[in-house]
């Protein structure tokens, strides 16, 4: 199993931005899963890393960068990090799902 990141040098679609836009894993059977680092995150499954590149490479504007097992992973943007529970009622995630509609978020 190998970890990778998708590094986008140019955002031709205007959706994902640039820099590290996704993280992924290639399993021993060569299948891959990627997780998009965006406000509206999603995941995708692919038969091979070649399929990932063919679909998301955008003419070499996005690169697969293999992550060493001991290498630190990039800093996750705040909007991707799990939210803290509501300090008033304890609902998690904090926000509109709060059962008593706390205005703390």
pLDDT digits (tens, 9 = 90+) for 1-25: 999 999 988 877 777 778 899 999 9
Encode 27-63: b = buried (16+ Cβ within 10 Å), e = exposed.
eeeeebebebbeeeeeeeebeebeebbeebeeeeebe
Instruction: Judge whether residue 99 has pLDDT over 90.
Output: no
Q: How many domains are contained in the chain?
A: 1
| pLDDT tens digits, one per residue of 19-71 | 899 999 999 999 999 999 887 889 999 999 999 999 988 788 889 999 986 55
Q: Which residues contact 103 (CB under 8 A, 6 or more apart)?
A: none
* Domain assignment present for 58: yes
How far apart, in Å, do the first and last CA atoms of the chain sit? 39
pLDDT for position 78: 56
pLDDT at 104: 44
pLDDT digits (tens, 9 = 90+) for 80-98: 555 566 666 666 655 555 5
Within-domain flag for 46: yes
In a domain, 105, yes or no: no
- Write down the pLDDT at residue 12: 75
* Residue 77 located in a structural domain: no
Which residue range is the domain that position 42 belongs to? 2-67
76 lies in some domain: no
Q: What does the alpha-carbon distance between residue 98 and residue 105 come to, in Å, rounded to a whole number? A: 9
């Amino acid at each position: 199993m190998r970890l990778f990141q998708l590094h986008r040098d140019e955002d031709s679609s205007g959706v994902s931005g640039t820099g590290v836009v996704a993280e992924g894993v290639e399993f021993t059977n060569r299948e891959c899963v990627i997780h998009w680092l965006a406000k509206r995150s999603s995941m995708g499954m692919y038969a091979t890393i070649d399929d990932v590149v063919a679909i998301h490479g955008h003419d070499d504007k996005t690169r697969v960068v293999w992550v060493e097992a001991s290498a630190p992973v990039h800093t996750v943007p705040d909007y991707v990090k799990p939210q803290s529970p509501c300090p008033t009622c304890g609902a998690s995630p904090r926000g509109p799902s709060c059962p008593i509609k706390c205005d703390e978020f």
